[in-house]
């Protein structure tokens, strides 16, 4: 491997470089206990003891079904839905004499609908099976008994096999690293498939196995591993290696997990520990929490209402049937003698009228089943999948810079996008680019860096002061001259936007404190986990860093004369300027320990030896660094704090830089304690490490502070402004300081000019005094009282602001949030927060983000959306109704936990205001229309039964009824759900207020739903009574005969098909040729079906035989009745919409009206120009 390749790595736990190795013969105390019973015979999978253990093979399957359980399991999935279960029961009962229709006419549509859904499941599962087959059939080299490696498929691996994995290959199972192409047994691993992190991880073999680097050595290698049982914790591993009567404790640093990839290493040897579904990645392969939209939940309630209506009308029908049947035997005389009540079955028996009525009730439950739309669920699934395709293909949400389109990871929540009430957003990487630039610094109490940040420009706009703007643009040099900030495009360096002639180009040697400046940039160049990659052809150095901040620090040090160019296991080398001799030299620092950064520690340190001096170099958050300064190290504390406040107000990210010299004796004592903590394998190992690190990170000398800018993403201010106009509340939950968060709020227009700020914080002298006293109970009590008073004060400020027509913005810090989320105050806090236009929660932890999201979701019952880009946002994304992941630079964990993925925050505007609005409107209209058309059809059956003395006789032919939901009315409603637009995408963005139709749930309110149901009832009444009055008593044929039962049924059915399809045409706002085709072809198909079906033998077509061909098609009365009935049916809805549009228009009606006026004006203008 080349030198450049060896340097190209990216580490997460760099202290592993040499102290990771374990030389002590110590064993884990848990081994052998419950949960730690696995035994692996290395290089001996055929050992009789190994065979007795019977571990799983390496074959994996992620499919939902198997060949054996596909049919029963898929059927179970379908019939868990109440509606489908009802149809199944009806299909079974249809084979009995109770059925008012033939069994086949009901079973076929049910089979088509259920079969279609099952087929979709089968296709999706088959795709998963193909992926499994591809993985199982990959090949890897495995060590055989003959002393050589041979290729075999992954699925054939067994526990104990020794495998050889090459560079850029995936690990086929969970392996124990034995050795690698590096002499010291190191290798580098890409774990993006596991945790979404893009940085490389270091893995290190044990000393005892690192020499196993060829087949000859492996021939004599036999060892036993005793370790933990399979579990889902990918960040831990407990086990021991037994070799030659010695015990070697194992840790996660020796484990290579399945589906991670070998990088920057030629090859590795490893022993298979966990195979197949025992592997940690497979143990984590659980399905995410299922989310259901509010429309879907309400749809279940509507189904229940229809079931209740079904039972009610069946009861009414059976009640009157019982009365009529009992009357047939009045005074022992048969009233309706032609029904032969003296020679009938139990289904019609005047002597047992109650029993006959009960059986009639069961018949009614089947006959009126058409009130329940059988194809509703499958139609909605089809529509949602197609809607997701349109979201995925939207070029306006494609980010060319990273080649990432928007992606709907689930189709269940499309309509929820149109009902979002509150958005919870992370800041770093979500609102900002997470592309850090070093812009300013404070060294030895002197501020360096001349430039203006986006936040400073926003503050200048807020202050409406051009003078302030000019001052912020111009800085004063050491001679008192004004210097204009800005850097030319030619000189720009990614991660470095620093300009100050006082210290650039080696001029720092002339500053008042050159020693401290040198030490400051040495800390930036050494205290990190960055790896350099030197390009051999150009000599340029590319840095691979775990975080953008670290990369910016190293680049800044390089640009200012301290170039980090080489990292080895135990050393770091710099090119730096020796200001005493005035020449560039190579200085090598012996790397002793790295005390890594942690969210609780909030700092990072390295211990190095240079020119005989032991140094601890440290950088960290100001909240933990100032308290660690020595008395003599606070010389510039006041000036540095002032600079930090200024940088925070400018929206910059701050780190304090410090160092100390260590005595050899002190270091030796500390190192012994630190290594002992590191070698510990008990649960409190991390706590012991933190305690040890805390002891050495004391008595620091302050050098200064860094200020890094994370610029706002393009379009963020406009996006937030549009969301605010749509009355979507935006809450920003960030870990930044209060001042930084507030100023970022102004930069992105979350906080706007003229907005009243309500700040809740515990940064008060009284609270600080109690903190110093250490009385936790008194502190908690005082904090609770303080927050309660501040919330009450905030409410009064809110009331006065509303009286003055002023918006309010709430800002609360993390400490205050802890108390605000307690049961005593959460209702008060929420009442204050929801009445504010914007909310910023600063210094908030990932847990607090999730708790705030849950509070709003549960208490308000409104749709919540969380958006974030990092692993710390996962809990927030999963807690919200909708999770949106930003596919940025912090890995893919947020995206993997999300429901929708976008590349930039600004795309959220289009995702919600366009796709969300359309999807909500389409699904709401689609469901309402489904219920309308089924009620209109189903109730004609009821009216006819009442007309026929509640006899249970259906008005239509069996197959006519069967195909109603499947062929004659299904396609237009799918077209509505996929293509309909009330206004265009540009108008949706131009008029964000239109989005309020969704947040107020106007289109799927109970009033709207009941209105559509009433329309269905009215349509059924008009169709039935108008048709019967027009047809029954009129001469229908040329010979004077009136219409019979079959003719009446065909005419009424024709009116239903025309009416519901024309109703669809009236409801559609945006016609495409597809919608025209589906609507009119559905009507045409009814006539074609009548021609073909009626031409078949009477034993097949039954009541439809030649009815259309010989009777209705040639009758003028049939065509005139159809026209008049359909017009009469559509007239109420048409009149209602006409009056509503004129007198009480909906938001989209107003926009459509303006659009038409603009089009007419434009047309008339063009006409006048043409005339001239």
Catalytic residues: 426
Q: How far apart are CA 501 and CA 520, in angstroms?
A: 17
Using the CB atoms, write b or e for 227-264: b if 16+ within 10 Å: bbebeeebeebbbbbbbeeeebbbbbbbbbbbbbbbbb
Give the residue from 909, 935, 880 showing the smallest Cα distance to 1063: 935
Return d(Cα 573, Cα 546) in angstroms, integer.
19
Asked whether 406 and 903 are in contact (CB, 8 A), the reply is yes
Query: Within a 10 A sphere around the Cβ of 487, how many other Cβ atoms?
Result: 14
Asked if 434 and 889 touch (Cβ cutoff 8 Å), the reply is yes
Helices (DSSP H) in 1001-1072: which residue ranges?
A: 1006-1031, 1045-1067
Task: Confirm if 914 and 988 have CB atoms less than 8 A apart.
Answer: yes
Q: Alpha helix (H) ranges present in 748-897?
A: 765-773, 776-803, 814-820, 826-834, 846-860, 874-879, 893-896
User: Which contiguous run of DSSP H or E holds residue 620?
Assistant: strand 613-620
Neighbours of 656 (CB within 10 A): 27
Structure tokens at 1070: 């945006």
- Residue 1145: CB atoms within 10 A of its CB come to 13
CA angle at 650 for the pair 645 and 655, rounded to the nearest 5°: 55
| Structural tokens at position 253 | 């640093």
Helix (H) or strand (E) holding 223: strand 223-227
Tokens of 772: 């110093």
Half-sphere exposure of 529 (CA within 13 A, CB side): 25
Tell me how far CA of residue 756 lies from CA of 797, 798, 806, 839, 1123, in angstroms.
8, 8, 7, 12, 63
The order of strands in the sheet holding 446-448 is: 446-448, 432-443, 701-712, 653-662, 613-620, 603-610, 583-595, 571-578, 562-567
Give the whole-angstrom CA distance, residue 101 versus residue 367.
8
Q: What are the φ and ψ backbone dihedral angles of 764, each rounded to 5 degrees?
A: -130, 155
- Biggest alpha carbon–alpha carbon distance for the chain: 131
What order of strands is seen across the sheet that includes strand 223-227? 38-42, 223-227, 239-243, 246-250
In angstroms, the CA 90 to CA 329 distance is 32
**Contact indicator for 886, 418 with CB cutoff of 8 Å:** no
Q: For residue 556, which of 622, 506, 497 has the smallest C-alpha distance?
A: 497
For 700, which DSSP code?
B
Cβ atoms of 988 and 994 closer than 8 Å: yes
Closest CA to 874 of 855, 853, 895: 895
C-alpha closest to that of 159 among 240, 280, 261, 39: 39
As given in the structure block, the two tokens for residue 691 are 């305690």
- Long-range CB contact pairs, 145-152, < 8 A, 24+: 145/46, 147/215, 147/216, 147/218, 147/219, 148/215, 149/215
State the Cα–Cα distance between residues 797 and 448, nearest whole angstrom.
40
Q: 């050589």: which residue's tokens?
A: 148
User: Helices (DSSP H) in 328-431: which residue ranges?
Assistant: 353-367, 376-392
């Amino acid at each position: 491997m080349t030198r450049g390749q060896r340097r190209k790595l990216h580490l997460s736990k760099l202290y592993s470089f040499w102290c990771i190795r374990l030389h002590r013969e110590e064993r884990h105390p848990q081994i052998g206990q419950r949960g730690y019973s696995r035994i692996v015979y290395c290089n001996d999978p055929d050992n009789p003891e190994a065979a007795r253990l019977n571990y799983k093979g390496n074959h994996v399957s992620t499919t939902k079904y198997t060949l054996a359980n596909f049919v029963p399991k898929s059927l179970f999935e379908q019939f868990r839905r109440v509606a489908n279960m009802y149809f199944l029961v009806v299909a079974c009962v249809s084979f009995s004499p109770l059925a008012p229709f033939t069994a086949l006419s009901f079973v076929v549509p049910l089979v088509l609908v259920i079969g279609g859904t099952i087929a979709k499941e089968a296709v999706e599962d088959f795709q998963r099976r193909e992926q499994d087959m591809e993985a199982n059939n990959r090949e890897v080299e495995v060590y055989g008994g003959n002393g050589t490696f041979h290729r075999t498929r992954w699925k054939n691996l067994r526990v104990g096999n020794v495998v050889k994995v090459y560079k850029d290959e995936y690990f086929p199972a969970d392996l124990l690293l034995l050795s690698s192409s590096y002499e010291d047994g190191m290798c580098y691993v890409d774990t993006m498939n596991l945790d979404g992190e893009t940085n490389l991880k270091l893995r290190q073999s044990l000393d005892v196995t690192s020499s196993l680097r060829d087949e000859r050595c492996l021939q004599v290698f036999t060892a036993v591993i005793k370790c933990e049982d399979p579990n889902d914790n990918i960040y831990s591993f407990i086990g021991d290696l037994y070799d030659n009567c010695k015990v070697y404790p194992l840790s996660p640093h020796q484990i290579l997990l399945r589906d991670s990839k070998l990088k920057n290493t030629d090859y590795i040897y490893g022993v298979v520990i966990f195979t197949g579904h025992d592997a940690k990645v497979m143990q984590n392969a659980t399905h995410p929490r299922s989310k259901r939209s509010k429309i879907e939940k309400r749809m279940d309630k509507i189904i229940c209402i229809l079931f209740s209506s079904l039972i009610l009308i069946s009861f009414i029908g059976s009640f009157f049937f019982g009365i009529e049947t009992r009357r047939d035997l009045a005074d022992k005389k048969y009233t309706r003698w032609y029904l032969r009540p003296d020679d009938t079955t139990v289904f019609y028996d005047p002597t047992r009228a109650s029993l006959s009525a009960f059986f009639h009730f069961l018949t009614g439950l089947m006959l009126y089943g058409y009130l329940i739309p059988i194809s509703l669920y499958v139609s909605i699934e089809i529509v949602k999948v197609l809607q997701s395709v349109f979201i995925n293909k939207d070029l306006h949400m494609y980010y060319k810079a990273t080649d990432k389109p928007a992606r709907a990871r689930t189709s269940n929540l499309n309509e929820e996008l149109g009902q979002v009430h509150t958005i919870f957003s992370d800041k770093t990487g979500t609102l900002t680019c997470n592309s850090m630039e070093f812009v300013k610094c404070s060294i030895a109490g002197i501020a360096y860096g001349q430039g203006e940040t986006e936040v400073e420009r926003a503050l200048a706009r807020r202050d409406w002061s051009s003078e302030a703007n000019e001052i912020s643009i111009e800085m004063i040099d050491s001679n008192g001259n004004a210097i204009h900030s800005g850097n030319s495009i030619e000189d720009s360096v990614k991660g470095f936007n620093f300009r100050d002639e006082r210290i650039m180009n080696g001029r720092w040697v002339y500053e008042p404190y050159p020693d401290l400046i040198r030490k400051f940039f040495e800390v930036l160049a050494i205290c990190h986990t960055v790896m350099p990659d030197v390009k051999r052809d150009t000599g340029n150095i590319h840095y691979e860093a775990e975080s953008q901040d670290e990369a910016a620090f190293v680049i800044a040090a390089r640009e200012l004369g301290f170039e980090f160019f080489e990292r080895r296991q135990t050393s770091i080398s710099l090119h730096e300027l020796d200001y005493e001799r005035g020449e560039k030299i190579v200085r090598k620092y012996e790397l002793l320990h790295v005390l890594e950064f942690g969210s609780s520690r909030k700092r990072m340190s390295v211990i190095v030896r240079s020119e005989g001096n032991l140094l601890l170099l440290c950088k960290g958050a100001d909240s933990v660094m100032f308290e660690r300064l020595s008395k003599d190290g606070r010389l510039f504390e006041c000036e540095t704090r002032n600079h930090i406040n200024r940088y925070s107000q400018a929206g910059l990210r701050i780190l304090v830089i410090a160092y100390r010299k260590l005595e050899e004796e002190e270091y030796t004592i500390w190192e012994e304690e630190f290594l002992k903590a590191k070698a510990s394998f008990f649960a409190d190992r991390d706590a012991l490490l933190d305690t040890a690190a805390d002891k050495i990170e004391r008595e620091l000398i302050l050098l200064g502070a860094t200020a890094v800018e994370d610029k706002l993403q393009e379009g963020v201010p406009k996006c937030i402004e549009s969301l605010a106009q749509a009355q979507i509340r935006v809450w920003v939950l960030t870990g930044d300081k209060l001042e930084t968060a507030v100023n970022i709020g102004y930069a992105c227009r979350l906080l706007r000019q003229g907005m009243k700020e309500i700040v809740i914080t515990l940064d008060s002298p009284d609270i600080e005094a109690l903190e110093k006293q250490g009385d936790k109970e008194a502190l908690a009590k005082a904090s609770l009282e303080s927050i309660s008073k501040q919330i009450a004060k905030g409410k009064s400020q809110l009331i006065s602001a509303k009286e003055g027509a002023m918006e309010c913005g709430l800002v609360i810090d993390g400490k205050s949030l802890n108390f605000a989320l307690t049961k005593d105050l959460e209702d008060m806090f929420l009442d204050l927060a929801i009445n504010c236009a914007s909310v910023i929660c600063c210094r908030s932890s990932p847990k607090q983000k999730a708790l705030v999201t849950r509070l709003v979701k549960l208490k308000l019952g409104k749709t919540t959306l969380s958006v974030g880009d990092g692993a710390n946002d996962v809990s927030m994304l999963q807690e919200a109704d909708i999770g949106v992941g930003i596919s940025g630079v912090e890995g893919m964990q947020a995206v993997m936990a999300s429901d929708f993925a976008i590349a930039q925050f600004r795309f959220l505007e289009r995702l919600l205001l366009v796709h969300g609005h359309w999807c909500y409107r389409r699904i709401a209209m689609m469901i309402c229309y489904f219920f309308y058309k089924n009620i209109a059809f189903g109730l004609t059956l009821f009216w006819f039964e009442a007309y026929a003395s509640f006899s249970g006789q259906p008005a239509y032919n069996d197959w006519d009824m069967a195909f109603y939901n499947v062929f004659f009315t299904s396609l237009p409603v799918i077209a509505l759900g996929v293509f309909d637009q009330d206004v265009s995408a540009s108008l949706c963005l131009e008029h964000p207020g239109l989005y309020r139709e969704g947040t107020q749930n106007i289109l799927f309110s109970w009033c709207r739903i009941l209105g559509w149901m009433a329309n269905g009832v009215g349509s059924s009444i008009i169709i039935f009574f108008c048709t019967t009055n027009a047809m029954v008593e009129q001469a229908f044929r040329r010979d004077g005969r009136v219409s019979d039962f079959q003719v009446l049924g065909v005419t009424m059915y024709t009116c239903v098909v025309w009416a519901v399809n024309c109703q669809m045409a009236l409801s559609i706002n945006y016609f495409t040729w597809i919608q025209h085709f589906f609507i009119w072809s559905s009507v045409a198909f009814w006539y074609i079906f009548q021609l073909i079906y009626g031409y078949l033998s009477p034993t097949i077509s039954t009541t439809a035989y030649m009815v259309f061909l010989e009777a209705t098609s040639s009758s003028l009365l049939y065509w005139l009745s159809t026209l008049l009935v359909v017009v009469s049916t559509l007239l109420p809805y048409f009149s209602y919409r006409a009056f509503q549009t004129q007198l009480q228009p909906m938001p989209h009606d107003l926009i459509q009206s303006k659009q038409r006026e603009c089009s007419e004006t434009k047309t008339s203008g063009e006409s006048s120009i043409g005339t001239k």
